[in-house]
């Protein structure tokens, strides 16, 4: 069934897909390039308070279920309306929280610090992603994400912040069970307090809760609530560069006795720098030790690494790199944890003032462990070249191709699946 939709395209930000941090990323077909953000300059220097947007996409996939056999192809339409609001007004939307159902504590990677001299900020973003397929209409689904952020900064540079996200989405097809759509709802809430005197020792403390609930009883064994506490000391060693020490405690509690909860203590040291919008990054490494609720399950420990760097090589070329190595949760009932590592690289090149090229490469690998021994492994690779055209400050067009290959081996056997996806997208907003 083909949807013909007529929308009145409203004007400005390119990052409509970023408002859907997990549902779109999980499908890996809705990351519409890394084009520079469209600002609200067309409405004056002060920007606006309310920014509606819409994104329309047509996709083709030769393996909709990411299945190693009996591949099924289909065409689809993605309709993604939404809005973001800020008080005081902002020209560009804030970077959304990136959460994952398999990451203890919820947040996939540490965010860049919010840089502002504003005394307070009230921010909200929300939107939905309506997926409609031509033939396999039983795969039609609607995801939605809402995010809010409240921040107050005192004159002595003490800041209080609350950040929350509610996401109703689904796992990537083929990630856990290839034959069904694994719908879930996640709730992320973080409260933090920081003291940051200029040029002196800075303190920061966070408390986070992350709830995951699956819609189907078939996946209820994954339901859990994570609670984490983090404390950080940071000291400037160079201009706009800080050395920091960090301690994090993550308590993972599954609701069903079928899965075993755990507690993980992480100790890390790292650097943060923010020279300008052209160059910023976070690098940290340390040690993580996890103990399980059952005394019969052996505790584990290993090194952890996390980093993300964004650097503008020139006025028209920007590189971004993100990497991690850490323990994660799994989607399978007969495993205890996943020892994982991954790297993502993106390159954005502005060919002209209106034409841009974008390339994203992703590689992840992980070993599954259960009952104290390795039970399987999984590898995933994807590459997504894209080209785009900026019609105006408020509208962009993107053509993207994605190749993905996933291989896995378990005690029951091994499998390998590949898919090719083509996406046409139009973004518009104010």
Identify which has the larger pLDDT, 90 or 186: 186
Asked if 116 and 171 touch (Cβ cutoff 8 Å), the reply is: no
Mean pLDDT computed over 290-298: 89
CATH code for the domain defined by 15-429: 2.40.160
Residues 6+ positions from 296 with CB-CB distance below 8 Å:
none
Q: What is the pLDDT of residue 177?
A: 52
Asked if 159 and 151 touch (Cβ cutoff 8 Å), the reply is: yes
Q: What is the pLDDT of residue 13?
A: 30
Residue 213 has pLDDT above 90, yes or no: yes
Q: What is the pLDDT of residue 235?
A: 93
Q: What is the pLDDT of residue 117?
A: 60
What percent of the chain lies above the pLDDT cut of 90?
A: 63
pLDDT digits (tens, 9 = 90+) for 329-380: 988 888 899 999 999 999 999 999 999 999 999 999 999 998 888 999 999 9
pLDDT digits (tens, 9 = 90+) for 384-419: 999 999 998 889 999 999 999 999 887 667 888 899
Neighbours of 73 (CB within 10 A): 14
- Of 126, 112, 103, 139, the closest CA to residue 226 belongs to 103
CA–CA dist 392, 228 (Å, integer): 44
- CB-count burial class (<10 Å; 0-12, 13-18, 19+) for 263: middle
pTM: 0.85
Residue 119 has pLDDT above 90, yes or no: no
Q: What is the pLDDT of residue 175?
A: 67
b/e 281-315 (16+ beta carbons within 10 angstroms → b): bbebebebebbbeeeebeebeeebebbbbbeeeee
Asked if 321 and 345 touch (Cβ cutoff 8 Å), the reply is: yes
Phi first, then psi: what are they for 196, rounded to 5°? -135, 75
- Residues facing 382 on adjacent strands: 362, 404
Q: What is the pLDDT of residue 304?
A: 95
Residues 6+ positions from 239 with CB-CB distance below 8 Å:
none
Q: What is the pLDDT of residue 44?
A: 30
Q: What is the DSSP letter of 256?
A: S
- pLDDT-derived band of residue 176, with 50, 70 and 90 as boundaries? low
Q: What is the pLDDT of residue 114?
A: 65
Highest mean pLDDT among 65-69, 71-75, 115-119: 71-75
- CB-count burial class (<10 Å; 0-12, 13-18, 19+) for 259: buried
pLDDT digits (tens, 9 = 90+) for 9-59: 333 333 333 333 333 333 333 332 333 343 333 333 345 789 999 999 999
Q: Which helix (H) or strand (E) element contains residue 25?
A: helix 23-27
């Amino acid at each position: 069934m083909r949807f013909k939709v007529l929308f009145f395209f409203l004007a400005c930000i390119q990052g409509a897909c970023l408002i859907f941090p997990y549902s779109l990323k999980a499908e890996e077909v809705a990351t519409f390039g890394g084009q520079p953000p469209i600002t609200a300059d067309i409405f004056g220097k002060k920007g606006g308070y309310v920014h509606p947007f819409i994104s329309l996409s047509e996709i083709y996939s030769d393996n909709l279920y990411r299945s190693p056999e009996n591949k099924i192809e289909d065409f689809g339409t993605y309709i993604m309306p939404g809005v973001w609001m800020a008080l005081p007004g902002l020209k560009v939307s804030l970077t959304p929280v990136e959460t994952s159902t398999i990451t203890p504590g919820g947040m996939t990677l540490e965010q860049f610090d919010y840089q502002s001299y504003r005394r307070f900020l009230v921010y909200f973003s929300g939107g939905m992603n309506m997926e409609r397929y031509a033939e396999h209409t039983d795969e039609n689904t609607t995801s939605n994400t809402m995010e809010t952020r409240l921040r107050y900064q005192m004159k002595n540079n003490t800041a209080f912040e609350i950040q929350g996200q509610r996401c109703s989405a689904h796992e990537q097809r083929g990630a856990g069970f290839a034959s069904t759509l694994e719908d879930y709802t996640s709730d992320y809430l973080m409260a933090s307090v920081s003291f940051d005197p200029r040029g002196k020792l800075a303190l920061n403390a966070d408390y986070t809760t992350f709830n995951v609930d699956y819609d189907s009883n078939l996946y209820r064994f994954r339901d859990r609530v994570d609670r984490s506490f983090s404390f950080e000391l940071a000291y400037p060693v160079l201009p706009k560069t800080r050395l920091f020490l960090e301690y994090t405690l993550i308590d993972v509690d599954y609701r069903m006795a079928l899965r075993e909860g755990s507690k993980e203590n992480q100790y890390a040291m790292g650097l943060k720098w923010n020279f300008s919008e052209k160059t910023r990054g976070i690098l940290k490494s340390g040690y993580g030790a996890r103990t399980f609720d059952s005394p019969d399950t052996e505790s584990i420990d290993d090194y952890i690494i996390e980093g993300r760097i964004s650097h503008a090589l020139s006025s028209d070329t920007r590189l971004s790199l993100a990497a991690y190595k850490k323990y994660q949760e799994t989607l399978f009932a007969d495993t205890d944890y996943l020892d994982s590592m991954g790297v993502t690289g993106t390159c954005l090149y502005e060919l002209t003032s209106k034409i841009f090229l974008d390339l994203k490469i992703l590689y992840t690998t992980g070993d599954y462990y259960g009952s104290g021994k390795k039970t399987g492994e999984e590898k995933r690779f994807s590459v997504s070249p894209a080209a785009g055209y900026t019609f105006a400050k408020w509208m962009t067009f993107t053509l993207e191709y994605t190749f993905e290959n996933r291989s896995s081996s378990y005690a029951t056997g091994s499998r390998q699946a590949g898919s090719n996806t083509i996406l046409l997208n139009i973004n518009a907003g104010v």
